[in-house]
Chains A and B, each alone.
Chain A
Amino acid sequence: MGAVAWSSRGVGLVAVTLERDPALEGGGEVAPPRRRLWVVWSGVAVGLIGCLALLPVAEGEPGGGTARVAVRWLLEPWLVVGLMWLVLRPLPVPRLLRPEQSVVVGALLAGALLAQSLPMLDAYPLEDWSMYSAPTDSLRYTEFLMVDAEGRPVGDLPIADLVPNTLGRGFMDRLSEWVERAEGGDPQAVEVVEATLGALLADVDEPAVAGIDVRWCHVETPTRQEPARCEVAMNVGR
């Protein structure tokens, strides 16, 4: 509840700050009556507090349950569009766009909104990647460690040599899916993992490197002594 109280206070402060914006008053645009502005801000505050207070028990990843689908349909895209409307309301659209252009833009926006509102279309950009929005009681990441003949770590596998820096983690996540399948005994997955890691190993000049350990690491209750627990899932030799 502390977070809710903080949130409502924060939104209130923001609203007070914005109440008298010279960009509105001096920029040639007609400033909306203060009362109307407060109504709008109250709506924003209620929406945000509702997100926090009415859904206190998070269910993490989207999907499942009519109620959650309904909540999502009602709130998520419409909150974004509502904020856009609030911001873009003063734009002189008829002067910026010809009528036919307005129709096209409007139709595109309506189609995008509809597509994003329907979970079965899987069109919402965050559908496949929750962007740190689900509570995580155990975070798992994968390590690809180069090891010597005795299995001692020599260093991280230079993933960046194969894929661009920005893709490193995404690529490792993708490869981890295949490692998981390989662990389950899928021969095609074993082949894919060995081919990929083999290609990476071929670029490593270090003679001490005898193979790659793929390790699952879990962060649950991190401490200074043990920030994560790791176990070897798979080994690929030269």
Chain B
Amino acid sequence: MMHRWARPERLAALRIAVFGIWFGRIATTDVTQYARLPSELVEPVGVMRLVPLEALLSSPGLLVGAKAAALVLCALCVLGVAPWRPLAVGAVLLILGHDGAMKSIQGFVSHSQMAALYAAMVLAVSPAADAWSLRRRRAVEPSEWRYGGPLLACALVMAVTYSMIGIRRLLWGGVEVFTDGSVLRWVVGRTLEYAAYDFDLGLVALEWPAAGAVLALGMLVVTVFEALSPLALRYGRFRVVWLAVIGPFHVATTLLMNIFFWENLLLLAILFVSLKPGVVGDDGKVVNTPNVRVWG
């Protein structure tokens, strides 16, 4: 099982990446704009149903204050400042509020940034500030699962998210979704639609008669690997093949559909890839093997 003897530095890298992602996301959001939206547009989702969201979103001062607090807490979490847990829990609550407000404005829960959100929750209750932090306390020697447990939990969340989507597509889409031209329509539609990016490779596909079939075949391959994602946590060889499919898949959705989850690529790199060749054995020592391993 991967991450069994993970070192504190790996968990610290995840902490810096996750809270860094949220710092960037929140810093680049002009929250005062929310107050200009008609309240009818807002439909609270998830836990946001428990708070007076409409009233909160209509108060620019409150929004700016919450944004400032979130930025400060995220920055402190990136630095790993003590006391770690209260600061991290506070940051997670504000991140949850930020993400919940955004998703309430669109009226449904999408998977955007969900991996980073769940990872922040896991990190808040883990010893994620034991390394690469401003705390005086030094990291303890890694014991079995001390640092690997949270890493495995985050990897599991990511894998299950992919898996649920893949299984949903297989169950509800059946064969038809891969044979009736839907994939080409999605690609063309998303290319034409307004987006944060402006790639038009999806339209180039229209100039090539076989493009629809190639795209559908690629989608089928991706879907099967998405469905099987949890297996990447345990089986090293599958993990290599899985990464070789899922990584390029995220690049392809950027070029073909203007949908880019760069956060997922970053988290995949931290959670599923190791530059260190070798397998970590039961005694915590790295055993070199002739093959480059991905989190043995």
Chain A interface residues (CB < 8 Å from chain B): 3-4, 6-7, 10-11, 14, 17-18, 21-24, 26-29, 44, 48, 51-53, 55-62, 71-72, 75-76, 79-80, 83-84, 86-88, 90-91, 95-96, 125-126, 128-139, 141, 143-144, 156-157, 159-175, 177-178, 188, 191-192, 195-196, 199, 217, 219-224, 227-228
Which residues of B in the span 154-192 have a Cβ within 8 Å of any Cβ on A? 156, 159-160, 163-165, 167-182, 184-186, 188-190, 192
Q: Is B25 among interface residues, defined by CB-CB distance under 8 A?
A: yes
Chain B interface residues (CB < 8 Å from chain A): 1-2, 4, 25, 28-30, 33, 36-38, 40-41, 43, 102-103, 105-113, 144-145, 149, 156, 159-160, 163-165, 167-182, 184-186, 188-190, 192-196, 203, 206-207, 220-221, 224, 227-231, 233-238, 241, 279-282, 287, 289, 296
Tell me, rounded to whole Å, the shortest Cβ–Cβ distance linking B174 to chain A.
Answer: 4
- Could you tell me if B149 and A227 are in contact, using CB atoms closer than 8 angstroms? no
Give the residues in chain B near A161, CB-CB below 8 Å. Answer: 30, 33
- Could you tell me if A79 and B167 are in contact, using CB atoms closer than 8 angstroms? yes
Write the chain A residue with the least CB distance to B31: A164
- Do A27 and B224 contact each other (CB < 8 Å), given the known contacts A80-B160, A83-B231? no
Give the residues in chain B near A167, CB-CB below 8 Å. Answer: 102, 105-106, 112
C-alpha gap A199/B32 in the complex (Å): 12
- Could you tell me if A169 and B169 are in contact, using CB atoms closer than 8 angstroms? no
- Do A222 and B184 contact each other (CB < 8 Å), given the known contacts A96-B145, A168-B196? yes
Write the chain B residue with the least CB distance to A202: B36
Tell me, rounded to whole Å, the shortest Cβ–Cβ distance linking A29 to chain B.
Answer: 7
Give the residues in chain A near B280, CB-CB below 8 Å. Answer: 27
- Do A162 and B281 contact each other (CB < 8 Å), given the known contacts A135-B173, A169-B195, A174-B105? no
- Could you tell me if A170 and B196 are in contact, using CB atoms closer than 8 angstroms? no
- Could you tell me if B40 and A56 are in contact, using CB atoms closer than 8 angstroms? no
- Could you tell me if A131 and B163 are in contact, using CB atoms closer than 8 angstroms? no
Give the residues in chain B near A11, CB-CB below 8 Å. Answer: 224, 228
Tell me, rounded to whole Å, the shortest Cβ–Cβ distance linking A75 to chain B.
Answer: 6
Write the chain A residue with the least CB distance to B98: A164
Add 15 more A-B contacts to A126-B164, A133-B172, A162-B36 (CB < 8 A).
A14-B231, A23-B235, A51-B167, A53-B175, A57-B176, A71-B171, A84-B230, A133-B173, A134-B173, A135-B176, A159-B194, A164-B25, A166-B113, A196-B41, A220-B185
- Could you tell me if A48 and B186 are in contact, using CB atoms closer than 8 angstroms? no
- Do A14 and B177 contact each other (CB < 8 Å), given the known contacts A27-B279, A227-B188, A228-B192? no
C-alpha gap A159/B192 in the complex (Å): 15
- Could you tell me if B171 and A72 are in contact, using CB atoms closer than 8 angstroms? yes
Give the residues in chain B near A220, CB-CB below 8 Å. Answer: 185
Give the residues in chain A near B228, CB-CB below 8 Å. Answer: 11, 14, 44, 83
Write the chain B residue with the least CB distance to A44: B228
Give the top 7 A-B pairs by smallest Cβ distance, nearest first: A170-B106, A28-B282, A165-B196, A51-B170, A58-B174, A133-B169, A139-B189
Tell me, rounded to whole Å, the shortest Cβ–Cβ distance linking A28 to chain B.
Answer: 3
- Could you tell me if B194 and A192 are in contact, using CB atoms closer than 8 angstroms? no
Give the residues in chain A near B185, CB-CB below 8 Å. Answer: 136-139, 219-220, 222
Give the residues in chain A near B169, CB-CB below 8 Å. Answer: 131-133
- Could you tell me if A126 and B168 are in contact, using CB atoms closer than 8 angstroms? yes
Give the residues in chain A near B149, CB-CB below 8 Å. Answer: 96
Give the residues in chain A near B229, CB-CB below 8 Å. Answer: 83
- Do A21 and B237 contact each other (CB < 8 Å), given the known contacts A131-B111, A170-B110, A228-B189? yes
- Could you tell me if A48 and B38 are in contact, using CB atoms closer than 8 angstroms? no
- Could you tell me if B279 and A87 are in contact, using CB atoms closer than 8 angstroms? no
Write the chain B residue with the least CB distance to A20: B237
- Could you tell me if B234 and A23 are in contact, using CB atoms closer than 8 angstroms? yes
- Could you tell me if B167 and A80 are in contact, using CB atoms closer than 8 angstroms? yes
Give the residues in chain B near A83, CB-CB below 8 Å. Answer: 163, 228-231
Tell me, rounded to whole Å, the shortest Cβ–Cβ distance linking A64 to chain B.
Answer: 12
Tell me, rounded to whole Å, the shortest Cβ–Cβ distance linking A215 to chain B.
Answer: 11
Give the residues in chain A near B287, CB-CB below 8 Å. Answer: 26
C-alpha gap A196/B36 in the complex (Å): 8
C-alpha gap A109/B5 in the complex (Å): 26
- Do A134 and B41 contact each other (CB < 8 Å), given the known contacts A18-B238, A21-B235? no
- Do A125 and B109 contact each other (CB < 8 Å), given the known contacts A17-B241, A21-B237, A135-B182? yes
- Do A228 and B188 contact each other (CB < 8 Å), given the known contacts A60-B172, A129-B110, A174-B107? yes
Q: What would 24 A/B residue contacts be, using CB atoms closer than 8 Å?
A: A3-B179, A18-B238, A21-B234, A21-B235, A23-B235, A52-B174, A55-B172, A56-B174, A56-B175, A83-B230, A87-B230, A126-B168, A128-B108, A133-B168, A135-B177, A139-B185, A169-B195, A170-B108, A173-B107, A175-B41, A192-B40, A195-B38, A196-B37, A219-B188
